[in-house]
A = this chain, B = another copy of it.
Protein backbone atom coordinates (compact mmCIF):
# COMPACT_ATOMS: atom_id res chain seq x y z
CA UNK A 1 0.00 0.00 0.00
CA UNK A 2 2.08 2.90 -1.18
CA UNK A 3 0.61 5.90 0.41
CA UNK A 4 0.98 9.15 2.14
CA UNK A 5 1.94 8.08 5.55
CA UNK A 6 5.68 7.92 5.71
CA UNK A 7 7.18 10.80 3.81
CA UNK A 8 8.39 13.26 4.68
CA UNK A 9 9.95 11.24 7.48
CA UNK A 10 10.72 13.99 9.91
CA UNK A 11 7.39 15.64 9.56
CA UNK A 12 5.96 13.54 12.35
CA UNK A 13 6.21 15.55 15.54
CA UNK A 14 7.47 18.87 14.32
CA UNK A 15 6.98 21.11 11.38
CA UNK A 16 9.37 20.53 8.50
CA UNK A 17 12.10 23.06 8.02
CA UNK A 18 11.18 24.80 4.84
CA UNK A 19 13.29 27.16 2.80
CA UNK A 20 11.02 29.92 3.92
CA UNK A 21 13.32 32.83 3.56
CA UNK A 22 13.61 33.18 -0.20
CA UNK A 23 11.39 35.01 -2.61
CA UNK A 24 8.45 37.28 -2.10
CA UNK A 25 6.28 36.77 0.92
CA UNK A 26 3.45 35.73 -1.35
CA UNK A 27 5.56 32.98 -2.90
CA UNK A 28 6.96 31.88 0.44
CA UNK A 29 3.43 31.52 1.69
CA UNK A 30 2.57 29.08 -1.06
CA UNK A 31 5.72 27.06 -0.62
CA UNK A 32 5.48 26.84 3.13
CA UNK A 33 1.77 26.13 3.06
CA UNK A 34 2.29 23.34 0.54
CA UNK A 35 4.93 21.75 2.75
CA UNK A 36 2.74 21.91 5.83
CA UNK A 37 -0.43 20.80 4.09
CA UNK A 38 1.53 17.93 2.61
CA UNK A 39 2.92 16.86 5.95
CA UNK A 40 -0.14 17.22 8.14
CA UNK A 41 -3.07 17.64 5.84
CA UNK A 42 -4.92 20.86 5.08
CA UNK A 43 -7.52 20.67 7.81
CA UNK A 44 -5.01 19.67 10.46
CA UNK A 45 -2.65 22.53 9.64
CA UNK A 46 -3.36 25.63 11.69
CA UNK A 47 -2.76 29.23 10.79
CA UNK A 48 -0.56 29.39 13.87
CA UNK A 49 1.79 26.74 12.48
CA UNK A 50 1.75 28.50 9.16
CA UNK A 51 2.72 31.79 10.75
CA UNK A 52 5.37 30.16 12.87
CA UNK A 53 6.96 28.45 9.86
CA UNK A 54 7.04 31.82 8.12
CA UNK A 55 8.44 33.62 11.14
CA UNK A 56 5.39 35.82 11.24
CA UNK A 57 2.70 36.49 13.76
CA UNK A 58 -0.70 34.97 13.12
CA UNK A 59 -2.31 38.27 12.37
CA UNK A 60 0.27 39.16 9.73
CA UNK A 61 -0.86 36.30 7.53
CA UNK A 62 -4.07 38.08 6.78
CA UNK A 63 -2.34 40.88 5.03
CA UNK A 64 -1.51 38.40 2.25
CA UNK A 65 -4.52 36.17 2.19
CA UNK A 66 -8.14 36.46 3.13
CA UNK A 67 -8.71 32.90 4.28
CA UNK A 68 -6.67 29.79 4.80
CA UNK A 69 -8.51 28.26 1.89
CA UNK A 70 -6.96 30.84 -0.44
CA UNK A 71 -3.68 29.03 0.00
CA UNK A 72 -5.13 25.65 -0.87
CA UNK A 73 -6.80 27.13 -3.88
CA UNK A 74 -3.64 28.72 -5.20
CA UNK A 75 -1.68 25.52 -4.63
CA UNK A 76 -4.23 23.44 -6.51
CA UNK A 77 -4.79 25.71 -9.46
CA UNK A 78 -1.16 26.65 -9.98
CA UNK A 79 0.08 23.08 -9.82
CA UNK A 80 -2.59 21.84 -12.19
CA UNK A 81 -1.93 24.64 -14.65
CA UNK A 82 1.81 24.08 -14.62
CA UNK A 83 1.45 20.34 -15.06
CA UNK A 84 -0.86 20.70 -18.01
CA UNK A 85 1.37 23.26 -19.66
CA UNK A 86 4.56 21.30 -19.19
CA UNK A 87 3.16 18.05 -20.50
CA UNK A 88 1.61 19.80 -23.48
CA UNK A 89 4.90 21.46 -24.25
CA UNK A 90 6.80 18.20 -23.97
CA UNK A 91 4.59 16.20 -26.29
CA UNK A 92 4.53 19.00 -28.83
CA UNK A 93 8.07 18.07 -29.70
CA UNK A 94 7.61 14.30 -29.59
CA UNK A 95 7.56 11.85 -32.42
CA UNK A 96 4.20 10.33 -33.37
CA UNK A 97 4.62 7.08 -31.49
CA UNK A 98 6.65 8.48 -28.66
CA UNK A 99 4.01 10.77 -27.28
CA UNK A 100 2.82 8.62 -24.41
CA UNK A 101 6.27 7.86 -23.12
CA UNK A 102 7.12 11.53 -23.38
CA UNK A 103 3.95 12.54 -21.58
CA UNK A 104 4.58 10.09 -18.75
CA UNK A 105 8.10 11.31 -18.31
CA UNK A 106 7.09 14.96 -18.41
CA UNK A 107 4.25 14.42 -15.95
CA UNK A 108 6.54 12.75 -13.48
CA UNK A 109 9.27 15.34 -13.82
CA UNK A 110 6.82 18.20 -13.35
CA UNK A 111 5.07 16.56 -10.41
CA UNK A 112 8.34 15.80 -8.69
CA UNK A 113 9.67 19.29 -9.15
CA UNK A 114 6.79 20.79 -7.17
CA UNK A 115 6.21 17.72 -5.15
CA UNK A 116 4.48 19.23 -2.13
CA UNK A 117 2.11 21.21 -4.28
CA UNK A 118 1.13 18.25 -6.40
CA UNK A 119 0.69 16.01 -3.40
CA UNK A 120 -1.55 18.59 -1.78
CA UNK A 121 -3.54 19.08 -4.95
CA UNK A 122 -4.23 15.41 -5.30
CA UNK A 123 -5.01 14.82 -1.64
CA UNK A 124 -6.71 17.98 -0.47
CA UNK A 125 -8.60 19.27 -3.46
CA UNK A 126 -11.78 18.06 -1.83
CA UNK A 127 -11.37 20.58 0.99
CA UNK A 128 -12.00 23.49 -1.34
CA UNK A 129 -15.32 25.26 -1.20
CA UNK A 130 -17.95 24.50 -3.79
CA UNK A 131 -17.01 27.04 -6.42
CA UNK A 132 -13.26 26.77 -6.31
CA UNK A 133 -13.47 23.02 -6.09
CA UNK A 134 -15.46 22.92 -9.31
CA UNK A 135 -12.95 25.15 -11.00
CA UNK A 136 -9.98 22.99 -10.07
CA UNK A 137 -11.83 19.83 -11.02
CA UNK A 138 -12.48 21.40 -14.38
CA UNK A 139 -8.78 22.00 -14.88
CA UNK A 140 -8.02 18.47 -13.83
CA UNK A 141 -10.60 17.01 -16.16
CA UNK A 142 -9.23 19.05 -19.03
CA UNK A 143 -5.87 17.46 -18.43
CA UNK A 144 -7.40 14.01 -18.15
CA UNK A 145 -9.27 14.47 -21.37
CA UNK A 146 -6.18 15.63 -23.15
CA UNK A 147 -4.42 12.42 -22.16
CA UNK A 148 -7.44 10.31 -22.98
CA UNK A 149 -7.44 11.89 -26.43
CA UNK A 150 -3.89 10.74 -27.01
CA UNK A 151 -4.75 7.26 -25.80
CA UNK A 152 -7.65 7.11 -28.20
CA UNK A 153 -5.54 8.31 -31.08
CA UNK A 154 -2.93 5.69 -30.34
CA UNK A 155 -5.63 3.06 -30.26
CA UNK A 156 -6.91 4.21 -33.62
CA UNK A 157 -3.40 4.13 -35.01
CA UNK A 158 -3.18 0.50 -33.93
CA UNK A 159 -0.37 1.07 -31.48
CA UNK A 160 -2.34 0.80 -28.23
CA UNK A 161 -4.54 -2.18 -27.47
CA UNK A 162 -8.19 -1.46 -27.99
CA UNK A 163 -9.59 -4.40 -26.07
CA UNK A 164 -9.53 -2.13 -23.01
CA UNK A 165 -11.56 1.05 -22.83
CA UNK A 166 -9.62 4.23 -23.37
CA UNK A 167 -10.86 5.73 -20.12
CA UNK A 168 -9.64 2.76 -18.10
CA UNK A 169 -6.30 2.86 -19.89
CA UNK A 170 -6.01 6.56 -19.14
CA UNK A 171 -6.95 6.29 -15.49
CA UNK A 172 -4.52 3.44 -15.01
CA UNK A 173 -1.82 5.57 -16.55
CA UNK A 174 -2.66 8.44 -14.26
CA UNK A 175 -2.64 6.22 -11.18
CA UNK A 176 0.82 5.08 -12.11
CA UNK A 177 2.32 8.53 -12.49
CA UNK A 178 0.24 10.45 -9.99
CA UNK A 179 0.97 8.33 -6.96
CA UNK A 180 4.59 7.57 -7.61
CA UNK A 181 5.44 10.97 -6.15
CA UNK A 182 4.52 9.62 -2.74
CA UNK A 183 7.11 6.87 -2.67
CA UNK A 184 9.81 8.23 -4.94
CA UNK A 185 12.99 8.89 -3.01
CA UNK A 186 15.00 11.77 -4.41
CA UNK A 187 18.00 10.60 -2.42
CA UNK A 188 18.05 7.28 -4.27
CA UNK A 189 19.94 6.53 -7.47
CA UNK A 190 16.92 7.06 -9.66
CA UNK A 191 16.38 10.43 -11.32
CA UNK A 192 12.87 11.69 -11.99
CA UNK A 193 13.47 11.14 -15.69
CA UNK A 194 14.65 7.61 -15.09
CA UNK A 195 11.67 6.73 -12.95
CA UNK A 196 9.42 8.22 -15.58
CA UNK A 197 11.00 5.93 -18.14
CA UNK A 198 10.57 2.89 -15.94
CA UNK A 199 6.93 3.63 -15.34
CA UNK A 200 6.41 4.25 -19.03
CA UNK A 201 8.00 0.90 -19.79
CA UNK A 202 5.81 -0.89 -17.26
CA UNK A 203 2.74 0.82 -18.59
CA UNK A 204 3.49 0.32 -22.26
CA UNK A 205 5.25 -3.05 -22.32
CA UNK A 206 3.98 -4.67 -19.15
CA UNK A 207 5.77 -6.48 -16.36
CA UNK A 208 5.85 -9.85 -18.05
CA UNK A 209 8.89 -10.95 -19.96
CA UNK A 210 8.07 -10.35 -23.60
CA UNK A 211 7.54 -13.44 -25.70
CA UNK A 212 9.62 -11.78 -28.43
Interface residues of A (CB under 8 A from B): 1-6, 12-13, 40-44, 80, 83, 100, 121-127, 130, 133, 136-137, 140, 143-144, 158-161, 164, 168-169, 171-176, 178-180, 183, 190, 195, 198-199, 201-212
Cβ-defined partner of A202 (8 Å) among B40, B164, B195: B164
The answer to whether A4 touches B122 (Cβ under 8 A) is yes
CB-CB < 8 A to A5: which residues of B?
125-126, 133, 136-137, 140
Contact partners of A159 in chain B: CB under 8 A: 208-209
Chain B residue contacts of A42, Cβ below 8 A: 41
Q: Known interface pairs A171-B183, A180-B171. Does A1 touch B41 (Cβ–Cβ under 8 Å)?
A: no
Q: Contacts A4-B126, A5-B133, A43-B41 given: A203-B212 contact, CB under 8 Å?
A: no
Closest B-chain residue to A177, C-beta based? B175
CB within 8 Å for A123 and B164 given contacts A172-B199, A204-B206: no
Contacts of A121 in B (CB 8 A): 1, 3
- Residues on the B chain within 8 Å of A1, using CB: 80, 83, 121-122, 140, 143-144, 174, 178
Extra 4 A-B pairs, beta carbons < 8 Å, given A40-B126, A172-B180, A206-B207? A3-B140, A159-B209, A160-B208, A203-B206
User: Does the CB pair B161–A3 fall under 8 Å?
Assistant: no
Which residue of the partner chain, among B3, B195, B208, contacts A205 with CB atoms under 8 Å? B208
Please determine whether B2 and A171 come into contact, CB atoms closer than 8 angstroms.
yes
Q: Give A89 Cβ to nearest chain B Cβ, in Å.
A: 18
Return chain B residues, CB-CB under 8 Å to A123.
3-4, 123
The interface residues of chain B lying within 8 Å CB-to-CB of A211 are 210-212
Name the residue of chain B whose CB is nearest to the CB of A137. Answer: B5
